[in-house]
Amino acid sequence: MSSSQGPRFVISVDYGTTYTGVAWVLTTAAPPRLQDVKVVRTWSGGLGPKVPSKLTYSRNGGERFGYNIGTDAYVLQWTKLELEPPSRPKALQNLIHSLEETRLLAFNLDNVLVDQIPRHLIKTATDIVTDYLVEVAIWVRRDIESEKEANTLRDFPIDLVITHPATWHSRAKNLTFRAVNAAFRHVFHEMNDTPGIARLATEPEACAQYTMRVAQDQGMATSGLRKGECFVVVDAGGGTVDLVSYKVEELSPNFRVSKATSVSGGPYGATLVDRYFIERFLPQRLSPEDYSSLMNLGGGEERHGGGSHKVFASGEQIMLTRFENLKHGFAGQPGPNGTGKNFIDLPEGIGLQDAPERGISNGQLCVTWRDLEDMFRDSVEGTLRLITEQLVQIDLQRLRVRTVFLSGGFSRNEYLFKRITELTRGWRFNLLRGDEQDEGSWTAVIKGAALMGLGVGCEMPPPCVECPYHIGVVVSKPFNQYDHDQAQLYTDTFDSRPLAKDTIQWMVARGDLITRDEAIVENTKLIKKIRRNGNKAGSVIIVASDFDGPSENATAGMHLPSESACKEAPIDTLLATASRQEIFLDYDLRVMPTQQAHAMFQAVDDPQTRVSYYRVELEVEISVSQSGARFDLICGRTVNMMGGVGAPGHLLVSKMMDFPDTMHRA
């Protein structure tokens, strides 16, 4: 930790697919130690180093989030997985589900009186994650205030260290960053007056920091590591399995390592097993009628579904809870004295009392070890493949792996541990994990992330900043009554279509994540229509505004003064009255190279209006870094069959906008 930072709070947040953990530490003049990091354990409704990543908007007899949500509630779970961009089939499926549920958004008296407005249907995944993390932050604040004086939070800046999976998509990192920032600023209002630093850390690297610190404290006796050898850290969690490898550069007097491979990971966590059980095993073993009844247990709000979200109904919650012990205790093929059969009680009224052909006896569903092996297959084989890839990368460098450290809740499963043990026979490495009494495997990421935020034994992750403005392009769009003012309506003189003028195509949202090493880059296409003998010069307006909205998914809707009015008003006046800035990208298509102009000017003869004109496609590219934004207007850029840039096009104009110096924190 840099001494120039001074005393401060560091809060590490590990928002997980199935569980979430938070740790905190207040730095002092003395060098911080691992034992100074406090893990939050006093969660509402339960005690433990982590809290379930579950939230409900239903009125119920239990908690709103985490532990002990009532069985009469609709529970939102696995929302973290929804932060990554969906595949095209998944996106279409989500759209269909959402449209099917729109009939339930009738705000009539009957629905209001019986609390039948399904709130999750009008919320994005980021909204749900933010609402959940607000509940988490409330209990984090209570935990800090139980140990520190009330005014302590006002006296010191608060840094956040936000963890994410190794191969997390940039969109998912951005949405996680936005959700954590919004939630903790809402609860820790002091962060608005004395802002700290936000940092991102990958889950396996945070896990590795904890692992190395513990190994160092134990004198490396249990790991058997030697100078020049490597070790692999495997963080097996609920949603993802993430890995990173290090080479030992020095053991004593100071333990020093270097990264030997790049981080890797995949969606092979414990939720894959749960998905198989709910989505494949139960539909195969229950009749269609019984499975439908199971999915509709409880009635009430369960008349509706989750839309694009994963929502667990009462029947699913009951079966997953009863399946949990089987999943955790599964160790593979039983010994000679074992039957390999397990039984789960079916809810009353579901399934026949006895149906041998479906494995049902005395109202219980039989689950064999082979059934469980099928459920574990994708997760275990995916994890083994990731470990092997790390081992091969190290082998190619002519280095040797001495130890593989297992961490994360899923690492406690005996079947996974047994399968990884089998891998050791070929690669000759030691396999270590915490025992059941040692919670280190569960808290390694949050403790390690706090150490990274302190800079203990490692270089601190670079600071991240939030984009200070919403940034968009002024466009004309097809007019519709629900999205535009009547004053915006005009008729296109080229093809007589009704259009709405002066709307904004938002491309970057205020609060979006900007890292030191990666800029935000967004593109949009614009179509310009020019009469054959008309003026080939014009202007594209970029708008930067710090107004309160829109959300990260907004695309249009803010009305602007006319282009001429914007040009006539001084920038200072515009900023004072509308809290926005207009940047004009003035272009002249007559400067286009002759050989390119022929391909870019598409001749159109409209048969209805009898107007002849050129159709020109322009592209606006916005690149946002921590120092400012660059706006490029390009003509003639094409995309190849692989989705990459084909022809680079011709740069018509480029402009820069600097950001406030207050953003740049070291």
pLDDT exceeds 90 at position 376: yes
Kindly report the backbone phi and psi dihedral angles of residue 582, in degrees, each rounded to the nearest multiple of 5, phi listed first: -105, 130
pLDDT exceeds 90 at position 504: no
Banded pLDDT at 119 (limits 50, 70, 90): low
pLDDT exceeds 50 at position 3: no
Assigned CATH class of 3-202: alpha beta
3-state secondary structure of 493: coil
d(CA 344, CA 364): 5
DSSP class of residue 229 equals -
- Measure the CA angle with vertex 536, ends 535 and 539; round to 5°: 100
pLDDT digits (tens, 9 = 90+) for 467-488: 999 999 988 888 887 777 888 8
pLDDT exceeds 80 at position 236: yes
pLDDT exceeds 60 at position 84: yes
Output the CA torsion sign for 111, 115, 118, 122. positive
Banded pLDDT at 503 (limits 50, 70, 90): confident
Residue 92: its pLDDT value, please?
66
d(CA 66, CA 257): 37
Residue 268: its pLDDT value, please?
95
d(CA 396, CA 418): 26
pLDDT digits (tens, 9 = 90+) for 246-293: 998 887 666 778 999 999 999 999 999 999 999 999 999 998 888 888
Query: Is pLDDT larger for residue 422 or for residue 551?
Result: 422
3-state secondary structure of 362: coil
| pLDDT more than 70, % of the chain | 82
Q: Which two tokens stand for residue 58?
A: 């239903």
pLDDT exceeds 60 at position 549: no
Query: Is pLDDT larger for residue 157 or for residue 221?
Result: 157
Contacts of 492 (CB under 8 A, 6+ apart): 498, 499, 529
Banded pLDDT at 176 (limits 50, 70, 90): very high
Residue 558: its pLDDT value, please?
39
Residue 114: its pLDDT value, please?
47
pLDDT digits (tens, 9 = 90+) for 343-357: 999 988 787 777 888
* Residues 212/197, Cβ–Cβ less than 8 Å: no
pLDDT exceeds 90 at position 417: yes
* Residues 56/76, Cβ–Cβ less than 8 Å: yes
What is the rounded average pLDDT for all residues in the chain? Answer: 82
Q: Is the peptide bond before 86 cis (omega within 30 degrees of 0)?
A: no
**Distance in Å from the first CA to the final CA of the chain:** 12
d(CA 587, CA 538): 6
pLDDT digits (tens, 9 = 90+) for 387-416: 999 999 999 999 999 899 998 889 989 999
Length of the chain equals 666
Q: Which two tokens stand for residue 335?
A: 């010994």
d(CA 584, CA 654): 10
Q: Please return the burial class of 251, using the count of CB atoms within 10 Å of its CB with bins 0-12, 13-18 and 19+.
A: middle
Banded pLDDT at 99 (limits 50, 70, 90): low
| Mean of pLDDT values over 99-121 | 55
Residue 297: its pLDDT value, please?
73
Contacts of 327 (CB under 8 A, 6+ apart): 270, 273, 274, 277, 372, 375, 413
Residue 496: its pLDDT value, please?
81
Amino acid of residue 148: K
Which is nearest to 447 in space by CA: 7, 22, 6? 22
Residue 113: its pLDDT value, please?
44
pLDDT digits (tens, 9 = 90+) for 287-314: 888 888 887 775 444 444 555 567 777 7
Domain ranges of the chain: 3-202, 271-376, 465-663
| Least confident segment among 27-41, 319-333, 481-495 | 481-495
| Mean of pLDDT values over 314-333 | 90
| Least confident segment among 48-62, 144-158, 302-316, 633-647 | 302-316
| Least confident segment among 58-67, 100-109, 553-562 | 553-562
pLDDT exceeds 70 at position 565: no
Q: Determine how many CB atoms are found less than 10 A away from the CB of residue 59.
A: 12
Cα dihedral 346, 351, 357, 361 in deg (nearest 10): 50
Which is nearest to 63 in space by CA: 163, 138, 145, 154? 138
